[in-house]
Amino acid sequence: MFFASDNTSGVAPQIMAALARANEGWQPGYGTEAAMTRVTALIREIFEAPGAAVCLVTTGTAANALALGLLTPPWGAVFCQTRAHIAEDECGAPEFYTHGAKLVLAGGDHGRIDPGALRAALAATGTGGVHGVQRGALSLTNVTEAGTVYTPAETAALAQLARDHGLPVHLDGARFANAVVATGASPADLTWRAGVDVLSFGGTKNGCMGVEAVVIFDPARAWEFELRRKRGGHLLSKHRYLSAQFEAYLTDGLWLDLAARANRAAARLAEGLARIPGVTQRHPVQANMMFPAWPAGTHERLRAMGAEYYQDDAGARLVTSWATSDEDIDRFLAAF
Amino acid sequence: MFFASDNTSGVAPQIMAALARANEGWQPGYGTEAAMTRVTALIREIFEAPGAAVCLVTTGTAANALALGLLTPPWGAVFCQTRAHIAEDECGAPEFYTHGAKLVLAGGDHGRIDPGALRAALAATGTGGVHGVQRGALSLTNVTEAGTVYTPAETAALAQLARDHGLPVHLDGARFANAVVATGASPADLTWRAGVDVLSFGGTKNGCMGVEAVVIFDPARAWEFELRRKRGGHLLSKHRYLSAQFEAYLTDGLWLDLAARANRAAARLAEGLARIPGVTQRHPVQANMMFPAWPAGTHERLRAMGAEYYQDDAGARLVTSWATSDEDIDRFLAAF
Amino acid sequence: MFFASDNTSGVAPQIMAALARANEGWQPGYGTEAAMTRVTALIREIFEAPGAAVCLVTTGTAANALALGLLTPPWGAVFCQTRAHIAEDECGAPEFYTHGAKLVLAGGDHGRIDPGALRAALAATGTGGVHGVQRGALSLTNVTEAGTVYTPAETAALAQLARDHGLPVHLDGARFANAVVATGASPADLTWRAGVDVLSFGGTKNGCMGVEAVVIFDPARAWEFELRRKRGGHLLSKHRYLSAQFEAYLTDGLWLDLAARANRAAARLAEGLARIPGVTQRHPVQANMMFPAWPAGTHERLRAMGAEYYQDDAGARLVTSWATSDEDIDRFLAAF
Amino acid sequence: MFFASDNTSGVAPQIMAALARANEGWQPGYGTEAAMTRVTALIREIFEAPGAAVCLVTTGTAANALALGLLTPPWGAVFCQTRAHIAEDECGAPEFYTHGAKLVLAGGDHGRIDPGALRAALAATGTGGVHGVQRGALSLTNVTEAGTVYTPAETAALAQLARDHGLPVHLDGARFANAVVATGASPADLTWRAGVDVLSFGGTKNGCMGVEAVVIFDPARAWEFELRRKRGGHLLSKHRYLSAQFEAYLTDGLWLDLAARANRAAARLAEGLARIPGVTQRHPVQANMMFPAWPAGTHERLRAMGAEYYQDDAGARLVTSWATSDEDIDRFLAAF
């Protein structure tokens, strides 16, 4: 009964197999291997973005922080949701990679940025001339930290507010596959067609071992990104093991299949919880993460049964993954 | 005939097997998995350093730059060899992670720092009061960039010069295993007993997929290192795949076996080259890397035969690895 | 009718005279001149802090940002009031000098940090282990941005909350003289006795030309501060013109006399405004700055009469200085 | 007998008078005062550069480091002379303001960069693809640290090498006035017509109290510079006292008169030394600084007579200023 995080699951067998295949023989490193060319081609096709540049790194924190470093100067403000991963869970990596940019928080329900809050934050920033920080970039997250998703239209509306102020847009897509599955939208509609400039496209949480693709829709910025990646120590020498993972991930729709399994598991779990008296959901369940609330004594019983998940003052966070079994879900529900 | 770099070879089968084993089930991440405790225990035992702290990262650049960030303030000078990897091949990662420390280069033959040159560099730095940068740290490399090694006594002599000025010592051991095999010295004698404070202990070039251990002999500094690692985006969520690699690497002396194979391959290659008229070595061959010189026309012939290696104005760099076969060596020699 | 800022006034005649005297002959620079020794001695005496170290810089932004760089690591959170100068008016200088620390805002009425809000901010920060930024330092401001003051007891209560978490305390005293006059408290009681570690002690707004003293109550930290100051380009070569200003400022209580004039001018202005129907004060008037509100049409009339001040949606900000004349105040009041 | 540095002299009377005049009344701050407009106009006229932007700061270190921050990315190499002030005397300020750029040293006689050495340094940098730092900017110094000057043609030849690689050019002109007087060249010929993009135009060493103008010949970069200046804490609130200094400095050729006095004093001193047996000059004397060598015992005698100057292993550094009197020079010469 493992609901602590999608990153506590293992690596999908197709990806393990790809790593084994990639292990044959000698290959040049640092992303010059042939597999990386194929990864770029796959991403361009999937995103309908023939010019996009792609760089692989091993963590979402690196992907996000490097992307923000690319998009905003040190004196820029990065607008993000109050509970965004970049604000709460990266130990200041965005500030490190941007050389000191300021995160400006915009609230909103259910992990989403409220357009009015963003409008107010934009209006209140950069108005002091040289005395205050300038507007820098907008960073969205889809799936959000509350487990909800943005539709293409919602993404575009927020991105447009940024664009109205000349700002570029970053999308933290650590769970991008789950968002694509949940919305049924095309990758292009959820990103560049909605105004996203750079995407952190997660693999790790969705069945990879440790790889995230940074998709830079304007290739003119790619070389600077590569320098930043190297300078950050994020250019792997045996890079073939990153490209092998991502190639397998994107082949035959594996990334969507894995995410669909995770989302279905969440739906099953949510449906089960809905039938249990006294259990409520604090946010709509739309992807593979949910935040139920239940009577105080419940935690103890669940823990005793071996359930693993994060707990907060108001309830729990349950995350499903491609590896979550129906048996685990049913055992968990039965524990109530 | 692959002599471009030890990082163009694959992953040793024992390590692939360990990754497969690590893939079973659900595990907590971020280094809290049980295997990481075993890695730390193994390193403490191998280094006879019961208090040492260990952190894993995926690249040597990250290991080095994070270590230097730990050891020197932004206004410190990092003393290193003229051709050190941190000076030439990391795109300024040390400057990034130290927030702007200055690398001060000390020359010496065959990739080693000459003690006199270090003494002079130390004497010339930090004498201008507040107007100049201060002495920060010493960074050594073993195996050096010229393929030579430092003995424990040589290491200790250089480290002592640093210590005389109150400076901590970093050792870039991207090829530390090869140095241990080449010198026959104990890991402790090559590191903390010789005055090394922090070691970048390489795995990637010697049969791992992508993992380096940063060994911090003074555990009081470990927490700060962990914060720096996270902030740099180098804390992997599915960390079990790093600890699995390193555990296998250290188990039953695999790390030494792999390095011994690489060093033996280099010896065989060097012996063969020594018998070829017109071929000379620019540096003593002591580990798994050599820098031969040969007549101008030779490169073309070797390339035509499919040999892969780095070439410079004065000759070639040939690197062997655990995977280098005798057949490849003999074919290469026959090509002359 | 100049109420835009205390920094739009000129330099007090005693300080101009000191600059003229300092201009005689040749003198060593960079703070090694004899006058700097006298400045340090004066500050030690005034603050009853025989071991304090003192460094002079030319701007409050430099004083604050350098102080915070000294007190917090890059991964630290600096707790400050929502509208603090370091948060709103320094274009990210604190983030620059700390190499990316995060400002965490704590609210409170009338420019003061509410102890409950600080307690909550402290409790909510640094609880995520290595994943979030750590608690770094507390930065207070006295006189606050709302023109109110902290008493020694209020300062001590907030500082104690910081100390309970092991945090050092910075005090932005750009208008410290006005706070001393307003509270009647001793400089020691308002600073180190209340738990302040480093004070930005302003001169510029209170009759100097451009000089702020950073008072470091723990002299063990002074050398690092000096390196940071030089590295920031804030060590003046002809430093005698800074020490001359500050020596005159501290001699015969000039700093208090000037602040008393500014505070008295504010009191006269506030009393006059209190008698005008429809004019209210948004914050208590305690030092030399006030935030009145008045009917919408009033601004136009005041501007037409030549009054200069900052205006916001809700009203005005009026600042008085040592140079504010009773005539100006009375003309201003008559304009209503 | 004060020859330690031109910054140990006082402020020229015309500039003190200008400060007194500037002290009248209330004025807006932060460079919005009317005098700053006049300073910009004067510089545009003197440099025949109608579009140039001008920012004032209080130290040469700030001027240089901010300029380099503007011109080079963090992964850029700044090419400069081996003994350049930015390399030796600024405690890493360039590294701080560039966020970690690397200074690459090019040698040459008498404080000048040898074109061949620069060509070699340029050729050796940025050739490693993403693995090494990239070429960033060229920084020249005129008057050089050895007291020599570059002619317009020499400046242009070096700048052209930089431009051939697409690099911008910075000129550290802490003693720019002395260089103009020494070469007889026009300010334009020594700067933008020779390929200089940004000039640090010194005032402090040449009779000002503490002000340097950063002249940005491409005004499109000015706004970014202003943000960097504020963020560095270098935007003075009572800015009128900077613009007053620089306006007086530029009015009626005062800056050239003061430099001519300093250069004449140096010539008188050098001529006298030339007549003293056993005294030689290590560098040509071309401006207001010289590096004589003399018998070992001489220092003691000179010090006993009260002479002040810097001493090194090989001899002395003597600097003259606008305030150096013939009497002092003659007394110094008589001491031999």
* pLDDT tens digit sequence for B129-141: 999 999 999 999 9
Using a CB–CB cutoff of 8 Å, tell me whether A28 touches chain B. Answer: yes
What is the per-residue pLDDT for B116?
98
Q: Which residues contact B17 (CB under 8 A, 6 or more apart)?
A: B248
8 A C-beta contact, residue B101 and residue B73: yes
Other beta carbons within 10 Å of D119: 15
pLDDT in tens, C262-307: 999 999 999 999 999 999 999 999 999 999 999 888 999 999 999 9
**DSSP annotation string for C215-247:** EESSGGGHHHHHHHHHHTT---TTTHHHHHHHH
Residue A29: both structure tokens together: 């490193």
HSE on the CB side for B310, CA within 13 Å?
Answer: 14
CA proximity to B215, closest of B199, B202, B226 = B199
- Among the partner residues D23, D230, D232, nearest to C233 by beta-carbon distance: D232
Alpha-carbon distance of C121 to C116, in angstroms, equals: 9
Distance from C-alpha of D37 to C-alpha of D57, rounded to nearest angstrom: 15
User: Count of C–D CB contacts within 8 Å?
Assistant: 142
Burial of A336 (0-12, 13-18, 19+ CB in 10 A): middle
* Residue C140 backbone class (left: φ over 0; alpha: ψ -120 to 50; beta: rest): beta
Hey, which CATH number is domain C259-335, 3.90.1150.10, 3.40.50.280, 3.40.50.10300, 1.20.140.10?
A: 3.90.1150.10
- C88 touching chain A per CB within 8 A: yes
Q: What is D22-37 written as a DSSP string?
A: HTSS----TT-SHHHH
Window D:128-187, CB contacts with A under 8 Å: 130-131, 134
> Which residues of chain B does A204 touch, with a Cβ-Cβ cutoff of 8 Å?
237-238
Residue C313 has pLDDT above 90, yes or no: no
Pick from A14, A18, A57: which is nearest to A254 by CA?
A14
Identify the band that residue B297 occupies on the pLDDT scale cut at 50, 70 and 90: confident
The CATH label, of 3.40.190.170, 3.50.30.30, 3.20.20.70, 3.40.640.10, for the domain at B13-253 is 3.40.640.10
B123 touches chain C (CB under 8 A): no
- The pTM (predicted TM-score) of the whole model is 0.97
- The letter for the amino acid at C18 is A
Chain A residues inside the 8 Å CB shell of C102: 92, 95, 103
3 state SS of A57? strand
Contacts of C30 in chain B (CB under 8 A): 130-131
pLDDT at A1 over 90: no
Kindly report the number of other CB atoms within 10 A of residue A13's CB atom.
11
pLDDT number for residue D297: 86
A103 touches C at CB < 8 Å: yes
Q: Are strands A76-81 and A102-106 parallel, antiparallel or unpaired?
A: parallel
Whether residue C75 lies within 8 A of chain D, CB to CB, comes out as no
- Two tokens at D71? 């011109």
Residues 195-224 of C with CB under 8 A from B: 224
Q: Nearest CA of chain B to the CA of C138: how many Å?
A: 20
pLDDT digits (tens, 9 = 90+) for A246-287: 999 999 999 999 999 999 999 999 999 999 999 999 999 999
**Whole-angstrom Cα distance, residue C329 to residue C218?**
43
Tokens standing for D1?
A: 């007998």
Distance of CA D50 to the CA centre of its chain: 23
Annotate C13-28 with b (16+ C-beta within 10 A) or e (fewer). Answer: ebbbebbeebbeebbb
The residue of chain D nearest to residue A128, with distances taken between CA atoms, is D227
Q: Taking CB atoms and an 8 Å cutoff, what residues of chain D touch A126?
A: none
Which segments within D203-266 are labelled E, that is strand?
A: 212-216
The domain limits of chain C are 13-253, 259-335
Report pLDDT digits (tens) over C253-265: 999 999 999 999 9
Reply yes or no on whether the pLDDT at A297 is more than 90: no
pLDDT (average), residues A305-311: 93
**Residue in C closest to A135 by C-alpha:** C91
Q: What confidence score (pLDDT) does residue C296 get?
A: 81
Question: What pLDDT does D224 receive?
Answer: 98
What average pLDDT does the segment D31-47 reach? 98
**Cβ-proximal residues to B162 (8 Å cutoff; 6+ apart), any chain:** B79, B118, B122, B137, B138, B168, B169, B195
Residues 6+ apart with CB under 8 A from C123: none
Give the strand order in the sheet containing A53-57: A53-57, A212-216, A198-202, A169-173, A134-141, A76-81, A102-106
D-chain residue closest to C241, CA distance: D209
Q: Which of C264, C265, C157, C255 is nearest to C201 (CA)?
A: C255
Q: What is the mean pLDDT of chain D?
A: 97
Is the CB of C238 less than 8 angstroms away from the CB of D90?
no
At residue C314, the pLDDT reads: 84
pLDDT score of B95 more than 90:
yes
pLDDT tens, C150-204?
999 999 999 999 999 999 999 999 999 999 999 999 999 999 999 999 999 999 9
User: How many other CB atoms are there within 10 angstroms of residue A107's CB atom?
Assistant: 15
Contact A95 C95 (CB under 8 A): yes
Reported for A115-118, long-range contacts at CB under 8 A and 24+ positions apart, including other chains, are: A115/A157, A115/A158, A115/A161, A118/A79, A118/A158, A118/A161, A118/A162
Closest in D16, D96, D237 to C59, CB measured: D237
pLDDT for A123: 97
- pLDDT at residue D313, rounded to an integer: 84
> pLDDT tens, A106-124?
999 999 999 999 999 999 9
User: Please, which pLDDT band fits residue B111 given cuts at 50, 70 and 90?
Assistant: very high
* pLDDT score for A82: 97
**Strand boundaries in chain B, DSSP class E:** 53-57, 76-81, 102-106, 134-141, 169-173, 198-202, 212-216, 280-281, 289-290, 292-293, 310-312, 315-319
Alpha helix ranges (H) inside chain A = 13-22, 34-46, 60-71, 85-88, 93-97, 115-124, 152-164, 176-183, 187-190, 222-231, 240-250, 254-274, 298-304, 326-334
Q: Are A150 and A160 in contact (CB under 8 A)?
A: no
Give the pLDDT band (50/70/90) at residue D173: very high
Q: Say how far residue B261 (Cα) sits from the centre of its chain.
A: 17
Q: Which chains touch C (3 or more CB pairs under 8 A)?
A: A, B, D
Provide the edge-to-edge strand list for the sheet that holds C289-290. C289-290, C315-319, C310-312
Average model confidence (pLDDT) across chain C: 97
Q: What is the ipTM metric for this complex?
A: 0.97
pLDDT bracket for residue D90 (50, 70, 90) = very high
So what's the pLDDT on residue C135? 98
- Residue C270 contacts residue C281 (beta carbons within 8 Å): yes
Average pLDDT across chain B, whole number: 97
- Cα separation, D20 vs D37, in Å, equals 19
DSSP annotation of C278: T
pLDDT value at residue D296: 81
- A57: preceding bond cis by omega (within 30 degrees): no
Query: Which of C20, C26, C61 lies closest to D8 in CB terms?
Result: C26
Looking at chain B from residue 268 to 307, which residues have their Cβ under 8 Å from any Cβ of chain A?
none
